[in-house]
Amino acid sequence: MEPKIKALFKDDILEVSKTLYDMDLNSFKFLGGFESFVYEYEFKDKAFILKISHSSHRTQSQIESEFDFVNHLYQQGASVSKPILNRHHRFTHTYLLDEGYFTISSTEKALGNRPTDLLTNRVLQHNYGKTIGLFHHLTMSYEPKISIEKRFTWVDDPLIVECRNYLDESDGFVYDEMIKVMDQIQKIPQTMTNYGLIHTDIHRSNFLVQEDQTLTVFDFDDAAYFYFMSDIAIAIFYTLFFMPNKDEVAEAFILQLMQGYQETHPMSKADFLTIPLFLRFRTIVLYLALKRSTQKTDPFTMKYNGLYLDSIQQNLPFLQVDFEMLYQRINRS
C-alpha cells in the first residue's frame, strides 16, 4: 500500500462502510491489503468481504465494470465470489476526500481453504486450468451493460501507463525491457478465442479450494482486456516463482493445468507458444508493482529482486522448458 494512500484513510470511512451492509458489527475485522483496504464481516452466519479502494488505484466506474463482469460470470454458473448490493442497491459507494475518493464494495467470502498442495495435487491442478478455461469461455459472451463503462485494456492499466514514474537510474532498464515485451505482445493477432476481458491475477492468493478440489475465485480488481494466455502465465508464474527447482517441476504442472483448461476452452498451438512471453511480462510487472507499493527493505521485495532483477536486465526466460514439445505432450495425453 502506498504511504500517501494510507495517510488519507480515516476511521470515518469505516463507519460509513458499516452502514452500507447488513452485518454483525462484532465480526468486523481487518484482513490487510496490497492495493486496497480489505475487511471481513458476517451476517446470519455467512461471511463477506468488504474492500475500500482509493481512486488513484481504481475509479468508481472501473470497480462498477469489474463487478458487472463478475456478476456475469456468477450468473453463468462460474465459481466466483458473488457481488453484494449495498443499501442503495448499487455495487459501489464513494466516500469523497479533498484528494480523490475511496470506493466501498463488498462480495460474499469464498468458501474453502488456501491451496497448500498445488504442486502435488493433480486433480487441483486440472481444476485450476478448467476454471480459467471456463472464465475465458464465458467472457466471449460478455457485453457490459449500457450504463457500465467498459473495463480498461491491459495497456491502459495505471501500473503500465505510469511505470516510468516508479523507476530511477538504478533500474531504468526495466522500462526499456517493458517496452520491448509490450511491442512483441501487441503483434499477437487478436481473436474471439484468445483475447477478451480476463481476471489477469488468478494466483493461489486469489482463490480458495473446497474438499472436492473445486476452486472459488475472487479479487477481480486487475481485470482487463488482454490475451487469455496471460492468465495461464500468471498461474504458472506464481506457482513456481520462488521454487528453487522450478524448471524440474514446471512440465508436470503445466501439463495438468492445460489439459484442464482445454476441457472448457480451446487453445491453439500458436497461443500456447506465447506463454514464455507472458511469463516475462509478468516478471517485469511484479517488479514494478513491488517498486510502487513496498519499501526496498520489505523481505518479499528483497527476495524477489534478488532472484529476478538481473534476469530482467539480461532478458533471461522465466523457465527453461521446451514449450513446443510440451504442447505435443498436452495434446496426446
pLDDT by residue (tens digit) across 184-204?
999 999 999 999 999 999 999
Task: Kindly state whether residues 304 and 213 are assigned to the same domain.
Answer: yes
- Please report the pLDDT score of residue 49 as a whole number: 96
Q: Give DSSP secondary structure letters for 75-125.
A: HTT--BPPB---TTSSS-EEEE-SSSEEEEEEEEPPPSB--S-TTT-HHHH
Geometric angle at alpha carbon 94, from 6 and 294, rounded to 5°:
25
Rounded CA separation 129/141 (Å)? 20
Q: What is the pTM of this model?
A: 0.91
Rounded CA separation 36/222 (Å)? 12
* Residue 14 grid coordinates: 469505516
Long-range contacts of 82-89 (CB under 8 A, 24+ apart): 82/107, 82/108, 83/107, 84/21, 84/48, 84/108, 86/20, 86/21, 87/19, 87/20, 87/21, 88/20
Domain membership of residue 99 as a residue range:
3-108
269 within 8 A of 327, measured Cβ to Cβ? yes
Task: Kindly state whether residues 134 and 95 are assigned to the same domain.
Answer: no
- Please report the pLDDT score of residue 333 as a whole number: 59
Rounded CA separation 331/142 (Å)? 28
Rounded CA separation 185/188 (Å)? 6
Task: Kindly state whether residues 139 and 215 are assigned to the same domain.
Answer: yes
Task: Kindly state whether residues 90 and 161 are assigned to the same domain.
Answer: no
Instruction: Indicate the number of domains in the chain.
Output: 2
For residue 241, which phi and psi values (nearest 5 degrees)?
-65, -25
Cβ within 8 Å of residue 202, ≥6 positions away: 131, 132, 135, 217, 231, 234, 235
Rounded CA separation 41/22 (Å)? 9
Report the amino acid identity of residue 312. I
Task: Kindly state whether residues 225 and 267 are assigned to the same domain.
Answer: yes
Does 117 reside within a domain?
A: no
* Residue 216 grid coordinates: 472459488
Q: What's the distance, Cα to Cα, between the start and end of the chain in Å? A: 44
- Please report the pLDDT score of residue 291 as a whole number: 94
The closest alpha carbon to 92, from 84, 104, 102, 80, belongs to 104
- Please report the pLDDT score of residue 10 as a whole number: 83
CATH assignment of the domain containing 159: 3.90.1200.10
Task: Kindly state whether residues 12 and 140 are assigned to the same domain.
Answer: no
Task: Kindly state whether residues 256 and 293 are assigned to the same domain.
Answer: yes
Task: Kindly state whether residues 127 and 149 are assigned to the same domain.
Answer: yes
Rounded CA separation 36/2 (Å)? 10
CA pseudo-torsion sign 295, 299, 301, 307:
positive
What separation in angstroms does the CA of 64 have from each of 25, 91, 94, 105, 142?
A: 26, 7, 11, 9, 15
Low-confidence spans in the chain with pLDDT less than 70: 1, 333
User: What's the DSSP call for residue 322?
Assistant: -
* Residue 66 grid coordinates: 469489474
Does 39 reside within a domain?
A: yes
Task: Kindly state whether residues 47 and 104 are assigned to the same domain.
Answer: yes
Rounded CA separation 290/185 (Å)? 22
Domain boundary among 108, 136, 160: 108
Task: Kindly state whether residues 147 and 67 are assigned to the same domain.
Answer: no
Does 29 reside within a domain?
A: yes
- For 134, the enclosing helix (H) or strand (E) is helix 122-139
CATH assignment of the domain containing 12: 3.30.200.20
